[in-house]
Structure 1
Amino acid sequence: MRPRLLFTAMAVACLGAGALLAQDAPRLRGPDPFTREQAAPPMQRPITNDIRVKRNYPDQPPVIPHAIEGYALDLNANKCMSCHARRFTEQSQAPMISVTHYQDREGNTLGGLAPRRYACLACHVPQTEARPLVDNRFVDMDVLTEPERHSGGRSNR
């Protein structure tokens, strides 16, 4: 009898807590009620100026500064490699992919592109003119260390 009573009390407490949390959860976007169908927003224009963008931290994958619509990326083809593979960069003038893309997890150099680096869009993303959904409060490492450089290594904080 006692375990059943304890289980019932826990179930009621969980349901009550769930109901309270669901009421206070903010909606980021979408119609209210969520079951109402709504037209999809228009696709944002990609940034296609081919200008390389400064990276915000070491080892950040570079962003894609050109359109990639229609690029094949499947088991049989990787359109990115037709310009960014080492043997095509002289003709295409595209930057060569990093040597790390030719290494396995243990750092051994392979004869070709590492399978774990084949899906370029897993790390590299195209840019669009879309407004951010949330404010970006990222602070670049150079900005964070700027006071130290001007004070001879002493922090002004």
Structure 2
Amino acid sequence: MKKRLWLIMWAALVIVAVGAWSGVAMAQEGGEVRSLRGAVPLEGADQAPEMARWMPDSHGLPRNYLQQPPLIPHHIEGYKIDLRQNKCMTCHSWSKAKETHATKISLTHFRNRFGTELSDVSPQRYFCTQCHVPQKDAKPLVDNSFKPVDSVM
């Protein structure tokens, strides 16, 4: 048993020594830790890059494919959606939509997974941002060649 313990201790000591030696070798060769931002210097770091703006409020955005959930045409920053409350319902519920001039939530949101009609929003449809996303007025991160079905035919 003592022999195994000594063997484990020697192995640990060798591993630590090799790790320290490779760190010294890396420092001597000019190796350095590189930042995720690449070669961008820290000078001017107090200047934040320009943020993309939320798209201005509108009455809806076009959909790109059949069955696409409607996009949110306004900011939702600070909206609270949890088990107890849903800020979206203050405008989009059937009782408030007319006075707020907002789009009513779809009747499909009142059906559960078995197709049963409910008197309130189905738990599967309660968390709006699972499917609906707000749009920012920003340039795309990558090129996109997506074309809606109508334009392909």
Pairwise TM-score range, normalised by the shorter structure: 0.5 to 0.7
After superposition, give the CA deviation of every residue in 1:105-142 in whole Å (9 maximum; x if it has no partner).
12111111011111111111111122211111111111
Aligned pairs for 1:1-157 within 5 A: 30-32=36-38, 43-145=51-153
Mapped partners of 2:54, 2:81: distance in 1: 19
Q: For 1:107 and 1:99, locate their aligned partners in 2 and report how far apart those are by CA, in whole Å.
A: 11
Q: What RMSD in Å do the two structures reach over aligned CA positions? A: 2.1
Separation in 1, partners of 2:130, 2:150:
27
User: TM-score of the superposition, structure 2-length normalised?
Assistant: 0.66
Count of aligned positions: 113
Letter aligned with residue 37 of structure 2? P
Q: Which amino acid aligns with 1:141?
A: V
Cα distance, 1:77–1:41 mapped onto 2, change above 3 Å: farther
**Highest Rg: 1 or 2?**
2
TM-score of the pair, normalised by structure 1 = 0.65
Runs of at least 4 residues off by over 6 Å = none
Q: Return the alpha-carbon distance in structure 2 between the equivalents of residues 42 and 121 of structure 1.
A: 25
Question: Per-residue CA shift, 1:9-57, capped at 9, x if unaligned?
Answer: xxxxxxxxxxxxxxxxxxxxx4239xxxx88755421112324111111
Measure the CA separation in 2 of the matches of 1:132 and 1:103: 35
| Paired residue type of 1:103 | R
How many angstroms apart in 2 are the aligned matches of 1:95 and 1:60?
16
Please list every run of 5 or more consecutive structure 1 residues that lacks an aligned counterpart in the other structure. Answer: 1-29, 146-157
Alpha-carbon distance in 1 for matches of 2:55, 2:87: 19
Which 5+ residue runs of structure 2 have no aligned equivalent? 1-35, 40-44
CA distance in 1, matches of 2:130, 2:49: 24
Fraction of identical pairs, as percent: 45
